[in-house]
Structure 1
Amino acid sequence: MNSSKLRHLQIYEKIRSLIQNGSYRAGDMLPTEAQLGVTFGASRPTIAKALNRLGHEKLVRRRAGFGTQVLAPGRSAVTAGLLIPELHQTEIFEPICASITETASIAGMRIIRPPELNLRQERRMLTESLADQFIAAKVQGVFFTPVEFIPDQEAFNVETINRLTSAGIRVVLIDRDVFPWPRQTPHDLIGIDNIEAGYVMGRHLLDNGCGKLAFVSAPDPAMTVQLRRLGCREALIQNGYRANSLTSVDFIPDQPEKTAQQLLTKKVDGVICANDATAAPLLRALLDLGVDIPGALQVVGFDDVKYASLLSVPLTSYRQPCDDIGKVATETMINRIKHPEAPTRRVTLAGQLIPRNSSAGRLPS
Structure 2
Amino acid sequence: MSVEKPKYLQVYDAIKYQIRSQAYRVGELLPAEAELCEQFNSSRPTIAKALNLLSQEGVVHRKAGFGTQVLPPQVEALKIGLLIPQLAQTEIFEPICASITECAHEAGLHVIRPPELGRSADFRKMAESLAAQFISMKVNGVFFTPIEYIPNHEEFNLAILERLSQAGISVVLLDRDIYPWPRQTPYDLIGIDNIEAGFVVAGHMISNGCRRIAFVSEPNPAMTIQLRQIGVREALIQNGFSTRDLRTVNFESEHPEAVVETLRREQVTGVVCANDVTAARLLRIMVDGGVRIPEEMQVCGFDDVKYASLLAVPLTSYQQPCLDIGKIAVNTMIARIQHPEGPTHRTTLKGRLVMRDSAPARRS
Q: TM bucket by the smaller chain?
A: 0.7 to 0.9
CA spacing shift, 1:265–1:344, aligned 2, 3 Å: same
In our comparison, the structure showing a higher alpha carbon Rg is 2
Q: 2:197 matched to 1:202? A: no
- Indicate the SS of the match to 2:358: helix
> Is contact 1:189–1:346 with CA below 8 Å preserved after alignment?
yes
Aligned-residue offset at 1:86: 1.0
Residue aligning to 1:289: 289
CA spacing shift, 1:148–1:57, aligned 2, 3 Å: farther
Task: State how far apart, in whole Å, the 1-side matches of 2:212 and 2:258 are.
Answer: 19
Once the two structures are superposed, residues 5-36 of structure 1 have per-residue CA deviations (whole angstroms, 9 ceiling, x without a partner) of xxxxxxxxxxxxxxxxxxxxxxxxxxxxxxxx
Structure 1 stretches lacking a partner, 5+ long: 1-52, 60-74
Residue aligning to 1:355: 355
> Is contact 1:295–1:362 with CA below 8 Å preserved after alignment?
no
Aligned-residue offset at 1:264: 1.2
- Indicate the SS of the match to 2:179: coil
The 5-angstrom pairing of residues 268-347 of structure 1 reads 268-347=268-347
215-224 or 248-257, which deviates more: 248-257
Q: How many equivalent pairs are there?
A: 297
CA spacing shift, 1:204–1:363, aligned 2, 3 Å: closer
Aligned-residue offset at 1:76: 5.0
Aligned-residue offset at 1:257: 2.0
> Is contact 2:157–2:178 with CA below 8 Å preserved after alignment?
yes
> Is contact 1:197–1:351 with CA below 8 Å preserved after alignment?
yes
249-258 or 292-301, which deviates more: 249-258
Aligned-residue offset at 1:57: 4.6
CA spacing shift, 1:348–1:237, aligned 2, 3 Å: same
Task: State how far apart, in whole Å, the 1-side matches of 2:146 and 2:195 are.
Answer: 19
Residue aligning to 2:20: none
Once the two structures are superposed, residues 168-211 of structure 1 have per-residue CA deviations (whole angstroms, 9 ceiling, x without a partner) of 00000000001000000100000000000000000000000000
> Is contact 1:77–1:108 with CA below 8 Å preserved after alignment?
yes
> Is contact 2:80–2:141 with CA below 8 Å preserved after alignment?
yes
Aligned-residue offset at 1:341: 1.4
Task: State how far apart, in whole Å, the 2-side matches of 1:323 and 1:311 are.
Answer: 24
Aligned-residue offset at 1:144: 0.1
Q: 2:101 matched to 1:128? A: no
Q: 2:112 matched to 1:107? A: no
CA spacing shift, 1:162–1:211, aligned 2, 3 Å: same
Q: Percent identity?
A: 59
> Is contact 1:253–1:278 with CA below 8 Å preserved after alignment?
no
Aligned-residue offset at 1:305: 2.1
Task: State how far apart, in whole Å, the 2-side matches of 1:363 and 1:190 are.
Answer: 35
Q: 2:212 matched to 1:212? A: yes
Task: State how far apart, in whole Å, the 1-side matches of 2:57 and 2:244 are.
Answer: 60
Aligned-residue offset at 1:261: 1.7
For the aligned residue pairs, the C-alpha RMSD in angstroms reads 1.9
Aligned-residue offset at 1:119: 2.1
CA spacing shift, 1:361–1:212, aligned 2, 3 Å: farther
Aligned-residue offset at 1:259: 1.4
Relative to the length of structure 2, the TM-score reads 0.78
- Indicate the SS of the match to 2:165: helix
Residue aligning to 1:193: 193
The 5-angstrom pairing of residues 1-365 of structure 1 reads 57=56, 77-360=77-360, 363=363
Once the two structures are superposed, residues 284-313 of structure 1 have per-residue CA deviations (whole angstroms, 9 ceiling, x without a partner) of 111111111000100000000211100111
Once the two structures are superposed, residues 114-140 of structure 1 have per-residue CA deviations (whole angstroms, 9 ceiling, x without a partner) of 134342341111110110000000001
> Is contact 2:355–2:361 with CA below 8 Å preserved after alignment?
no
Paired amino acid for 2:113 = R
> Is contact 1:236–1:243 with CA below 8 Å preserved after alignment?
yes
Relative to the length of structure 1, the TM-score reads 0.78
Task: State how far apart, in whole Å, the 1-side matches of 2:194 and 2:177 are.
Answer: 12
- Indicate the SS of the match to 1:233: helix
Q: 4+ residue runs of structure 1 moved beyond 3 angstroms?
A: 55-59, 361-364
Residue aligning to 2:48: none
CA spacing shift, 1:330–1:307, aligned 2, 3 Å: same
CA spacing shift, 1:118–1:237, aligned 2, 3 Å: same
Aligned-residue offset at 1:263: 1.0
> Is contact 1:276–1:304 with CA below 8 Å preserved after alignment?
yes
Aligned-residue offset at 1:160: 0.6
CA spacing shift, 1:57–1:76, aligned 2, 3 Å: same
CA spacing shift, 1:95–1:361, aligned 2, 3 Å: closer
Task: State how far apart, in whole Å, the 2-side matches of 1:216 and 1:161 are.
Answer: 32
274-283 or 256-265, which deviates more: 256-265
- Indicate the SS of the match to 1:358: coil
> Is contact 1:209–1:361 with CA below 8 Å preserved after alignment?
no
> Is contact 1:79–1:141 with CA below 8 Å preserved after alignment?
yes
